[in-house]
Amino acid sequence: MEQSFIEARGANVHYGEKQALFDINLDIEEKRVTALIGPSGCGKSTFLRAINRMNDLIPICRFDGSLQIAGQEVYDPAVDVVALRAQVGMVFQKPNPFPKSIFENVAYGLKIHGMTSSKTEMADRVEWSLKSAGLWDEVADRLEQPGNSLSGGQQQRLCIARTVAVEPKVILMDEPCSALDPIATAKVEDLIDSLRKDFTIVIVTHSMQQAARISQRTAFFHLGKLIEVGDTSDVFTNPREEQTQNYITGRIG
């Protein structure tokens, strides 16, 4: 096993009185794609959002236990959440470009984090990000056009470019292809595969085939518990737990 980069130990999440995650112990390896799968309400998105403290936005949400990224406790009160989210970027289900130009969409994070010192450096960084997201060739001649003038698949890759621009260590993806057609999905999946050489990626997906295609590790959640985690090739061919088998094969269990 590779060295783990994100470590959850005894992680619990409550929404008010309702417990959404129960005693999660999960190691996520560096520069690999980990897929979180499970039926709706199983806690996979709650776990994903716990990693960059997106759940802090929900007042009744409470986390206890330990969650570390590269040895740093994410829920340490001293942690600057804005800085954390620069380190742990997120791509959402629906592409959500800002109502700005393609260039400004990518430049936005660089500006607010003060990551460039000149216009040239900014332009270089935007170009690098768009190239990393496999979008540069399609938009190089229209960087001033609005981000939302792009197709859905291009918009999602623009959001990925925006995320990678600030060079996070981790990219969280919450069903990033659910609003995309198969061609756009294939492009995003190909992109995810190329991004894993530089980033640790955690993806929530309802598509078993997608999880099998793009991830190296898969974690199956059910009713707020982590049922099984293992190499993707094992989980989808010969899972250890019957609950996992029932879920991935669409059985009543």
- In the bound state with another protein, the residue whose beta carbon lies nearer, of 117 and 209, is 209
Residues 157-196, interacting with another protein (CB under 8 A): none
What's the min distance (Å) between Cβ of 239 and another protein?
6
What's the min distance (Å) between Cβ of 16 and another protein?
31
Residues 192-251, interacting with another protein (CB under 8 A): 208-209, 212, 236-239, 245-246, 248-251
Q: Could you tell me if 105 and 96 are in contact, meaning their C-beta atoms sit under 8 angstroms apart?
A: no
**Quick check: helix, strand or coil at residue 97?**
coil
- In the bound state with another protein, the residue whose beta carbon lies nearer, of 142 and 251, is 251
- In the bound state with another protein, the residue whose beta carbon lies nearer, of 155 and 244, is 244
Number of chain positions touching another protein (CB under 8 A): 15
What's the min distance (Å) between Cβ of 36 and another protein?
17
Residues 55-94, interacting with another protein (CB under 8 A): none
- In the bound state with another protein, the residue whose beta carbon lies nearer, of 216 and 246, is 246
What's the min distance (Å) between Cβ of 253 and another protein?
5
Interstrand relation of 61-69 and 4-15 (parallel, antiparallel or unpaired)? antiparallel
What's the min distance (Å) between Cβ of 248 and another protein?
5
Phi, psi (rounded to 5 degrees) for 206? -95, -5
**Quick check: helix, strand or coil at residue 23?**
strand
What order of strands is seen across the sheet that includes strand 217-222?
88-91, 170-174, 200-204, 33-37, 217-222, 225-231
Amino acid letter, 57 = L
221 to each of 29, 48, 91, 204, 241, how far by Cα in Å? 18, 12, 20, 11, 12
Nearest to 86 by CA among 61, 65, 104, 69: 69
DSSP secondary structure letter of residue 168:
-
- In the bound state with another protein, the residue whose beta carbon lies nearer, of 43 and 239, is 239
Residues that bind another protein (CB under 8 A): 208-209, 212, 236-239, 245-246, 248-253
